[in-house]
A and B are shown apart, each in its own frame.
Chain A
């Protein structure tokens, strides 16, 4: 198993100058194999997003390293894309849907604009937004905006998707549609995906492995393999007794941790 992304003893300490440094992440080692879907769950405020931003090269770890196929990451790696929880803030309000999707491609040298537009149309069709190319983000619903963000991510030709609670701000039905869409895109393209979420069911439904984090200072409490068969189905997978067992196990782990913190 070749690691596409690996973290070794990553620590993050925030020093706000008050003399009491805040240890957000206290030594985390994790690996995501090529084409693996890794989910990271943890109580809120445990530094999940901080961890993902470190993986994305948006934040520097205080200690430890992040490696991309064995090479040390410093700065955002070109083949990583990041899907933000706040999709509406991540989209460019002044650009139409197709111009948003075009954004990562505009740096391509020697390409004809008409060809690029055609490529973008394909991505937009893949996320189910054909016909909305010339709308502005604010003319679309939340779920559709996140689809635009996904299409824009595809245009960057990634092989690693970093998903920062990307479905937490949409309604339940839309969330299921988007989960299935992302799983389908991962299957088609062989993406490696790292999903940060507080939704245990989402983690079990989507991932090959789920890493459970503790409260701050954050460590990995355990890693649970999810051996449910693929492709996963929103009805049958969620009704599978094994799904419920895994959900129960992870919930217990998380709640137990909260109980610890409250004592």
Chain B
């Protein structure tokens, strides 16, 4: 326990050292403060954002875009993954499609999506869904394929219908794989949501980071980056908490 505390202390110290160095560099003109304002300036910009409530509107916008798209991606990924895992027909039908779409960096599709869906929310949701769906789908598929055959046989000996087997055996047995996929999709989804806002947004964290950069309000720009980092960390922490509650048997 003591060693763990010490490690945390050292970690905190190194973080403080970097911030201190940054402050020193800006104050002594080692870096151009217009490009890299001191952390104290970023902090006061952040406080101002929180004080005037501006933060919530932008944060809410990004959170809504991300959460909605993430939900769609997870639902689609789980449904298609289970279907492909359980049915040879579905696997034969979809595997070539999935394998050819999967390696495309999803950001590369944004210009094409602009052509079809316009520069707006539809494109933004589509690109986030598109990025987040594959890790879920692949992990769920592999989870279903790797399921212990004894579980399937057990369900069969109890005369379970196909639907009940999926609902009561396959889905819970695959839950650890579902969470693994959703965890990868979480970070990918946030990245693509921010990118989508930069390219097509009217508001949101991605939009405002680019907007403040163009207006040369660098202290605010960095403050928004800090907000974005906090948002990502909060999502990740919440996810871990839910995962631990949902699969208490995992890793035993």
Contacts and interface: CB of A to CB of B under 8 A. Distances in A.
Chain A CB count within 10 A is highest, among B150, B158, B169, B249, for B158
B157 A76 contact: yes
Contacts of A93: 173, 249, 252
Nearest to B149: A89
Interface of A: 53, 56-58, 75-76, 78, 80-82, 84, 86, 89-90, 92-95, 103-104, 106-107, 136-138, 156
Nearest to A59: B153
A156 B155 CA distance: 12
A175 B195 CA distance: 62
A90 B175 contact: no
A92 B172 contact: yes
A53 B248 CA distance: 32
Given A89-B150, A103-B168, A107-B164, A136 B157 contact: no
Interface residues of B, number: 20
6 contacts: A56-B157, A80-B157, A90-B153, A92-B173, A93-B249, A94-B173
Nearest to B247: A94
Pick the 7 closest A-B CB pairs, nearest first. Answer: A138-B252, A93-B249, A89-B150, A82-B157, A94-B172, A90-B154, A104-B158
B159 interface: yes
Interface in B81-131: none
A109 to B, nearest CB: 13
A90 B151 contact: yes
A130 B196 CA distance: 57
A81 B157 contact: yes
Contacts of B248: 136
Nearest to B153: A58
Contacts of A56: 157
Given A76-B158, A90-B151, A136-B248, 11 more contacts: A58-B156, A58-B157, A76-B157, A80-B157, A81-B158, A82-B153, A82-B157, A86-B150, A92-B151, A93-B249, A137-B249
Nearest to A136: B249
A106 B158 CA distance: 11
A138 B249 contact: yes
Given A89-B151, A90-B151, A92-B151, A156 B249 contact: no
A138 B249 CA distance: 7
A94 B249 contact: yes
A94 B175 CA distance: 10
Contacts of A156: 158
A254 to B, nearest CB: 27
Nearest to B154: A90
A89 B175 contact: no
A75 B161 CA distance: 12
